[in-house]
């Protein structure tokens, strides 16, 4: 895509963005305790003594969380580190009773990787992953139930998190948005995180700086914490970058700080001066041994890997002839991709894709249904496309049939049979209709013969209309012209 450039009267600027994304691990119990991770339960009902920070309680690493993290690392095409270790990150916060977070610092479980993002012009770009580590989530402070008190819910305390840190590879809000969509799609395919940003199971910190266009320096960045939708991430980047440009152009400097994005104004305001790693007094967690994985284990997780969206997209383009854009949309979630493959099986895949991208998605949208609830089954959509391919019905009639399918769930053959919608390809029958139309429109026949040849299209339309849309358009077109030119 064309570069995203901020241009002012004084100069051109480029934005440099990196993301840190906290993803809640899908697992029945928390990362260091046996308490449930269920979202939405009554406050403080899923809290073990470990989560509550009782003295003497010891954490035990949940193997399922490790398994999910390794799977995710493989999904990010990243290096799985056979040696990793846990550290204590010390800080005081009311929703964290231990006053430290168990996280990974020097040795994360996942190293460098990369994923492709899909841009609006059909291009792709590689985004580097710096690392991914696992850690525990904090509880939740609730400030809006009382004007004078804050409440603490520890249900979330100790839920497993994967923190994915990207390289500063984004050069526009669009690229960051595309990355979050792709990451969410991969996590959902893998079943390692549900990716619901509005429920906080995927939370994004956004690091933004700007530099003169064409330069490769890295200037001071500011971090926006916990931005909770793709749209807000894009907005935060745009507005924060503009703020930096304004400060620089007025001779100021940017301080490294943590800022808060306000969705109602779209702007950011300062939360606190940025803390540095040494402020946290990281040290190796004495209650947990290092995490050591062997090749057998990593290979066994590799063997479980399913086809991910990029590989699927590639296959749809290469072997089924889909456009990259259609393939990308169809592969964004696994249910849709599976539905498509089932519908396309044995039929014209490109036509099936067109139907899904058009009438099918429009129908789901209108009825506000998930694909799993679709009244039109994959088999029936494939059968409908087959009827068109075999000239049993025209594309126009197919739209009516589809409408009935989406209301009744019936299969298209049955609808065509019941409603007598079979396309007329019998030339005798079509010729008879042509004669009727010609007999009752002598004036237009005369006009045609005197040179208004574009009236042929009008005759074709009349014939198809009189056949109630059932006459095969190609045949009508040929016969009408032959008859008029006779
Ligand atoms: Mn973290």
pLDDT band at 278 (very low <50, low <70, confident <90, very high): confident
* Percentage of the chain modeled with pLDDT above 70: 99
- Is 296 found in the same domain as 314? no
Q: Is the pTM of this model over 0.85?
A: yes
* Residues 41/159, Cβ–Cβ less than 8 Å: no
β-sheet bridge partners, residue 272: 258
What count of residues does the chain have? 486
Tell me the residue ranges of DSSP E strands in 137-218.
140-142, 151-153, 160-166, 202-212
- Is 342 found in the same domain as 390? yes
Number of domains in the chain: 3
Q: Which of 243, 276, 301 delimits the end of a domain?
A: 301
Give the closest residue to 269 by CA, choosing from 259, 257, 284: 259
The CA-based dihedral angle spanning residues 414, 417, 419, 424, taken in that order and rounded to the nearest 10 degrees:
140
CA of 137 relative to ligand 1 center, distance in Å: 8
CA of 302 relative to ligand 1 center, distance in Å: 26
pLDDT tens digits along 332-357: 999 999 999 999 999 999 999 999 99
- Is 121 found in the same domain as 31? yes
Predicted local confidence at residue 2, as pLDDT: 52
Ordered DSSP codes for 157-176: TT-EEEEEEE-S-B-SHHHH
Mean pLDDT over each residue of the chain, to the nearest integer: 94
CA of 272 relative to ligand 1 center, distance in Å: 17
Query: Where are the alpha helices (H) located in 191-323, listed in sequence order?
Result: 230-249, 295-304, 309-320
Q: What is the CATH number of the domain that holds 464?
A: 1.10.10.410
- Is 354 found in the same domain as 480? no
The set of residues, in sequence order, having a beta carbon less than 8 Å from that of 63 and lying 6+ positions away, is none
- Is 480 found in the same domain as 409? no
Q: Which of 273, 301, 329 delimits the end of a domain?
A: 301
CA of 216 relative to ligand 1 center, distance in Å: 28
The set of residues, in sequence order, having a beta carbon less than 8 Å from that of 275 and lying 6+ positions away, is 258
CA of 315 relative to ligand 1 center, distance in Å: 36
CA of 193 relative to ligand 1 center, distance in Å: 16
CA of 205 relative to ligand 1 center, distance in Å: 10
**Domain coverage including residue 387:** 309-419
pLDDT tens digits along 352-373: 999 999 999 999 999 999 999 9
DSSP state at residue 280: G
> Residue holding tokens 């009773």?
97
- Is 337 found in the same domain as 260? no
Compute the C-alpha angle 206/209/210, nearest 5°: 140
- Is 449 found in the same domain as 413? no
* Residues 203/138, Cβ–Cβ less than 8 Å: no
CA of 280 relative to ligand 1 center, distance in Å: 12
- Is 402 found in the same domain as 466? no
CA of 22 relative to ligand 1 center, distance in Å: 7
CA of 135 relative to ligand 1 center, distance in Å: 7
- Is 203 found in the same domain as 95? yes
CA of 245 relative to ligand 1 center, distance in Å: 29
The sign of the CA dihedral 475, 481, 484, 486 is negative
CA of 89 relative to ligand 1 center, distance in Å: 9
CA of 136 relative to ligand 1 center, distance in Å: 8
Rounded to the nearest 10 degrees, the angle between the axes of helix 173-190 and helix 309-320 is 90
- Is 313 found in the same domain as 297? no
CA of 116 relative to ligand 1 center, distance in Å: 24
β-pairing verdict for 222-227 and 257-262 = parallel
Q: Ligand 1 is a single-atom ion; what residues have CB below 5 A from it?
A: 163
pLDDT tens digits along 466-480: 988 888 888 899 999
Tell whether the model's pLDDT for residue 391 goes beyond 50.
Answer: yes
pLDDT tens digits along 129-170: 999 999 999 999 999 999 999 999 999 999 999 999 999 999
- Is 401 found in the same domain as 253? no
- Is 192 found in the same domain as 290? yes
Ordered DSSP codes for 294-311: -HHHHHHHHHHPPPPHHH
Predicted local confidence at residue 420, as pLDDT: 84
Average pLDDT in the 84-111 region? Answer: 95
CA of 150 relative to ligand 1 center, distance in Å: 23
CA of 25 relative to ligand 1 center, distance in Å: 13
Tell whether the model's pLDDT for residue 1 goes beyond 50.
Answer: no
CA of 246 relative to ligand 1 center, distance in Å: 31
Q: Which of 274, 301, 328 delimits the end of a domain?
A: 301
pLDDT band at 295 (very low <50, low <70, confident <90, very high): very high
CA of 37 relative to ligand 1 center, distance in Å: 18
């Amino acid at each position: 895509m064309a570069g995203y450039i901020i241009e002012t009267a004084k100069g051109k600027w480029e934005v440099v963005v990196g993301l840190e994304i906290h993803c809640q691990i899908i697992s029945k119990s928390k990362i260091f305790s046996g308490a449930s991770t269920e979202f939405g339960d009554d406050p403080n009902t899923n809290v073990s003594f470990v989560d509550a920070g009782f003295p003497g309680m010891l954490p035990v690493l949940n193997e399922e969380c490790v398994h999910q993290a390794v799977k995710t690392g493989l999904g990010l095409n990243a290096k799985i580190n056979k040696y990793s270790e846990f550290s204590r990150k010390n800080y005081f916060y009311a929703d964290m009773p231990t006053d430290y977070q168990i996280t990974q610092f020097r040795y994360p479980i996942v190293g460098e990787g990369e994923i492709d993002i899909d841009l609006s012009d059909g291009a792709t770009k590689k985004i580097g992953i710096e690392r991914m580590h696992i850690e525990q989530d904090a509880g939740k402070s609730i400030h809006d139930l009382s004007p004078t008190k804050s409440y603490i819910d520890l249900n979330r305390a100790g839920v497993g998190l994967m923190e994915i840190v990207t390289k500063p590879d984004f050069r526009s809000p669009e690229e960051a948005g595309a990355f979050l969509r792709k990451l969410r799609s991969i996590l959902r395919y893998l079943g390692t995180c549900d990716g619901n940003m509005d429920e906080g199971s995927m939370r994004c910190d956004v690091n933004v700086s700007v530099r003169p266009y064409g330069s490769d320096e890295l200037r001071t960045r500011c971090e926006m914490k916990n931005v909770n939708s793709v749209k807000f991430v894009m907005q935060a980047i745009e507005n924060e970058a503009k703020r930096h440009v304004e400060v620089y152009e007025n001779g100021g400097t940017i301080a490294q700080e943590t800022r808060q994005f306000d969705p109602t104004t779209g702007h950011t305001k300062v939360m606190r001066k940025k803390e540095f790693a040494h402020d946290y007094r990281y040290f190796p967690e004495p209650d947990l041994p290092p995490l050591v994985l062997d090749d057998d284990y990593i290979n066994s997780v590799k063997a479980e890997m399913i086809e991910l969206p990029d590989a699927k997209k590639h296959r749809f383009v290469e072997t089924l002839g889909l456009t990259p854009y259609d393939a990308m949309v169809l592969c964004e979630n696994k249910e849709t991709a599976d539905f498509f493959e089932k519908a396309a099986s044995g039929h014209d895949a490109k036509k099936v894709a067109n139907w899904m991208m058009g009438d099918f998605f429009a129908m789901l949208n209108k009825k506000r249904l998930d694909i799993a609830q679709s009244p039109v089954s994959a088999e029936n959509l494939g059968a409908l496309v087959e009827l068109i391919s075999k000239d049993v019905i025209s594309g126009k009639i197919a739209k009516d049939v589809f409408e009935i399918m989406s209301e009744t769930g019936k299969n298209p053959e049955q609808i065509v049979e019941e409603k007598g919608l079979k396309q007329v390809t019998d030339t005798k029958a079509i010729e008879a209709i042509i004669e009727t139309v010609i007999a009752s429109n002598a004036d237009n026949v005369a006009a045609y013969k005197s040179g208004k040849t574009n009236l042929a299209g009008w005759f074709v339309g009349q014939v198809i209309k009189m056949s109630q849309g059932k006459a095969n358009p190609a045949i009508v077109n040929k016969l009408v012209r032959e008859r008029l030119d006779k």
